[in-house]
Amino acid sequence: MELARATNRSVRLRNRSALLTKLFLDAPLTRQDLVRSTGLSQPAVSNVVADLIDEGLVAEAGAAESDGGRPSMLLRFAPRFAFVVGVDVGETRVRVELFDFAMTLLASVEYPLDPARTEPDVVAGHVLAGIDVVTGQAGVAPADVLGVGIGVSGVVEQGAQAVVHAQALGWDRVPLERLIGAGTDLPLHIDNGAKTLGQAEMWFGAGRGARHAVFALVGSGVGAAVVTNGATYRGASSSAGEWGHTTLIYGGRACRCGARGCLEAYVGAEAIIDRYREARRGRPVPGDDEESQLAALVAAAATSGTARRVLDETAGYLGAGVANLINLFNPERVVLGGWAAMALGDLLPAVREAAGRQALRQPYEQASIELCRLGVDAVALGAATLPIARFLTDGGVRR
C-alpha cells in the first residue's frame, strides 16, 4: 500500500514537472495544448492544472481565439508567485538583477570590480549587498524569493557546496557558495557564466528550437557552453566548455591562465586591447576601462588603418575558434554572446567568412553563426533560471 502511494506521488510530480516546464517555456497555452504537447491524458492535465491554480502558481490569462463553441482558457505562470535573483560575476563588474516568475526585470544594480582586487570576500560582499538592494527597490520580501542563481567566471565544481576555480581571477578552490551563504538564508545555485548564458539563450533567445548548439561567451575572457541533444555537456567535473583555453597558436601570446597561444589571448577583450596597444607602439588606448577602450577601438576603425587591422585579425582569430567548435561538436547553431561579442557585432560577417575557410565544408554548411539575442544581461538572466530549473524539475515543490 505504501509503495503504491509512493508511486502515485512520483507519477504526479512527474506530470506536474512536465506541465510546468511546458507552461514556463511556451505560455500562454490552453489545457488542450498541454494535452497535445506532453502526451498526458485530458483528465491528468485537468487535475494537475486545477491543483496548480489552487496553489496560486498558475493563472488563467483570458480566452483563446475560437472558431465557435466554448472558448478555451489560456494558462500562464502567475508572475508574482515568487521571485528570483540572477547574478553575473564577471571580471570587470558584478551585476545583480531581480525577476518575477514571468522573467520580467524588476530591479538591477552593478558593482564595478577593480582587476587588482577580485578577492572572493569582496565579490561575495557585492552579491549580498546587491540582493538587499534589488529586493528593497522592488519591495520583495526575502521569503518570496525562490533562490539566487550566480554565473561566475571559471570552473564551478559542484558538490555539497559549489567551489570555484578561476585562474584568471587568481581563485583556486574558492568556496564561493559558503562565503555567500554565510550572509543569506536564500537557496544558492552557482554555475559557470557561459553555461548560464547558454541556458538563457536556449530558453528565451537564439537557441530556441535547437537541440545541438554552442554558446560562446566573449568578454574579458572567453568560454563556451556546449548543448547536445538539448542538455548542457559538462564533462567529468563540469569544466567542459573552456573554449578560451584551447590552443590557437602553439607557443603564441601569453595567456592569463599561464599557457601560451590560447584563443583567449587573442580574442578576449583584454587581449584585443593589448594587441591594439602594441600596434600603437605602446601608446595607451583611450578609455577608463575595458568596455570604453574596446568601444574606442571599434570607433577608430572607421579612420585608422591600425585599428582596422586589429579588428580584421580579431575576426579571423574568432572565426578560426568558431570553426574548431563546428568541427568538434557539429552544432546546428553557434551563438556569440557576452559584452565584447556584442561590441564587436559588426565583425559577424567576417567571422562567418573566416570560419568557413577553416571548418570542414559539410558541418559548416549545416551550422548558423549568429549573435545572442538577450544582450549583455544574458548571463544574469540565465543565472536567474537556475533556481527555476530546479523548481520545475521538482514539480513545483519548493525545497
Tens of pLDDT, residue by residue over 304-320, are 999 999 999 999 999 99
Q: Phi and psi at residue 128, in whole multiples of 5°?
A: -65, -40
pLDDT at 2: 54
CA distance 186 to 290: 33
pLDDT at 301: 96
What nine digits make up the cell of 208? 530556441
Alpha-carbon distance values, 66 to 29, 73, 146, 398 (Å)? 14, 10, 36, 36
Residue 36 is given by DSSP the state H
Give the H/E segment covering residue 316: helix 305-329
pLDDT at 104: 96
Given the DSSP bridges, would you call strands 188-192 and 171-174 parallel, antiparallel or unpaired?
Answer: unpaired
CA distance 354 to 84: 40
pLDDT at 5: 58
Nearest to 376 by CA among 148, 201, 203, 149: 201
Between helix 305-329 and helix 348-358 the angle, nearest 10°, is: 50
158-149-170 Cα angle (round to 5): 60
What nine digits make up the cell of 90? 564577471
Q: How far apart are the first and last CA of the chain?
A: 26
Write the single-letter amino acid at 126. Answer: H
Nearest to 12 by CA among 4, 1, 22, 2: 4
CA distance 210 to 344: 24
pLDDT at 347: 98
The domains located in the chain, with CATH, are: 8-77 (1.10.10.10), 83-195+384-394 (3.30.420.40), 206-373 (3.30.420.40)
Residues of the chain with pLDDT under 70: 1-6, 66-69
Q: Is 70 exposed, middle or buried (0-12, 13-18, 19+ CB in 10 A)?
A: exposed
166 and 220 Cβ atoms separated by less than 8 Å: no
